[in-house]
Amino acid sequence: MKFCVAVSTWALSVVLLGAVANAQTSDSPGVTGPISGYMELHLNNEQQQDASLDFHRFVLLFSHSFTPRIRFVGELELEHAFVEGREEAGEVELEQAYIDFLVRREFNLRAGMVLVPIGIINERHEPPVFNGVERPFVDTVIVPATWFEAGAGVHGELRHGFRYRAYALAPLNALEFTADEGIREGRQKGSQANVRNVAVAGRFEYVGFPGLTAGVSAWRGKSNFAVPRLDTTVTIGEADVRYRRDRLELRGEFANVHISDAARLNESLGAATGVSPNVAEGLRGFYGEAGYRIWAAGSPRDLVAFVRYENFDTQHKMPAGFLPLKEFDRDAWITGVTYYPDADVAIKADYVWQRNQSSIVKGRNSFNVGLGWWF
């Protein structure tokens, strides 16, 4: 009953927003101040759980040009609306704070807090640019978006639509790896990050064909600085493609993570804490998505329907002597709609069917509604 009231209230708000947008069909580009940003408010209703209303992300972006060739960009994020010391409810994160030294289009230098150049979502995650209330699972538990780290590197666009990014960054902390979320909790997030070892990350991208973006990314780094005698080197390979033609948009991504010396990592952590984290040697995930703009008359007459299949397994390959936890071999179908009362405002609704390979722990389906915007 409570859920029905919540959904009804939400749906009414959405209808009102749409009506307001319809009433104001001005072609004005809108007014933007010195600060930009994006926000996401979510209503999540998972099976056998109470519905929750979460102001998931409140993100502000700042920029400043010292000279036309030396620029600063910052991105500050508040997650889940509220932060209190020593609690895990919310987070304040400095996701980007870098200086770009723009030398020429083919070669530029960047230093500071940077986004790791990997996958579709990590560097391109404003709510109006992806379908679904929540980001794809693969871009959450295999590629741990939003993944940001302190470091420096180069980027540029070569001829014929090829471009690249390559950075040296602080590595992951393998002591925080888990069976459920893989390497996600190992991100040091530029917070007094240990750089006894340095990781390297790179992406090569092709944007030279209308509507097409195709990329490959890699990340590699020793991640065992806290425990001597381990060789926990993490290697990530990723490939993705986006293609848009007329009303159709297709997306696909594949990511593979290899963690060397995972058996000794589990043994070391088991000896220290009494519980083995059952970290896998291999994690794997992929997804494919098709979206179709069923109403394409420009906002506020702008509606996209989509369907996505995701397969993600954080226990894909186990080290010798360890058995996989089958509830973490998961797949999901997600289908829904994104309505744009304005090109920068996205009202989303989707349904997620999630399954796993365990005969004991069942996957939970969920219904989600979201409101996201960019300004």
Binding site for other proteins (CB under 8 A): 27, 29-30, 32, 36, 38, 61, 63, 68, 71, 73, 75, 95-96, 100, 102, 104-105, 108, 115, 123-126, 128-129, 155, 157, 159-161, 163, 207-208, 210-211, 213, 244, 297-299, 302, 342-344, 374
User: Do residues 350 and 334 lie in contact, with contact meaning Cβ atoms separated by under 8 Å?
Assistant: yes
Closest distance between other proteins and the C-beta of residue 52, in Å? 26
Comparison of 241 and 343: residue with beta carbon closer to other proteins: 343
Shortest CB 320 distance to other proteins, Å: 41
Of the pair 305, 343, the CB lying nearest other proteins is at 343
Q: Which is nearer to other proteins, 215 or 285 (CB)?
A: 215
CA atoms of 235 and 227, how far apart (whole Å) = 19
- How far apart CA 130 and CA 350 sit, in angstroms, is 12
Q: C-beta of 367: minimal distance to other proteins in Å? A: 27
Kindly give, in sequence order, each residue whose CB lies less than 8 Å from that of residue 306, ignoring residues fewer than 6 positions away.
131, 132, 289, 290, 291, 292, 334, 335, 336, 337, 338
Please count the CA atoms within 13 angstroms of the CA of 309 that sit on its side-chain side: 1
Q: How far is the CB of 91 from other proteins (least distance, A)?
A: 17
Considering the complex, state which of residue 43 and residue 120 has its C-beta at the smaller distance from other proteins: 120
Give the shortest CB-165-to-other proteins separation in angstroms.
Answer: 8
User: Could you tell me the smallest distance in angstroms from the CB atom of residue 123 to other proteins?
Assistant: 5
Q: How far apart are CA 221 and CA 196, in angstroms?
A: 11
Q: Which is nearer to other proteins, 116 or 325 (CB)?
A: 116
DSSP-assigned letters across all residues of 295-324: EESSTTSEEEEEEEEEEEEEEEEPPTT---
3-state secondary structure at position 127: helix
Between the alpha carbon of residue 321 and those of residues 278, 280, 344, 358, 359, the distances in Å are 10, 11, 51, 20, 22
